[in-house]
Amino acid sequence: MGSSLITVEVAYALPNNQLIIPLQVAPETSAEQAIAASGILQKFPEIDLSVNKIGLFGKLTRLETPLRHLDRVEIYRPLIADPKEVRKQRAADGKIMK
Strand partners, 56: 59, 73
pLDDT tens digits for range 2-56: 569 999 999 999 888 899 999 999 999 999 999 999 999 999 999 999 999 999 9
Domain count, the chain: 1
* Residue 94, pLDDT above cutoff 80: no
Is 65 inside a domain boundary? yes
Q: What is the CATH number of the domain that holds 13?
A: 3.10.20.280
* Residue 69, pLDDT above cutoff 60: yes
d(CA 91, CA 80): 19
Q: Say how far residue 70 (Cα) sits from the centre of its chain.
A: 15
Is 1 inside a domain boundary? no
- Who has greater pLDDT, 97 or 42? 42
pTM summary value: 0.76
Q: Give the pLDDT of residue 54.
A: 96
d(CA 19, CA 14): 9
Q: Give the pLDDT of residue 98.
A: 46
Range of the domain at 77: 6-97
Is 31 inside a domain boundary? yes
Residue at 71: amino acid letter:
D
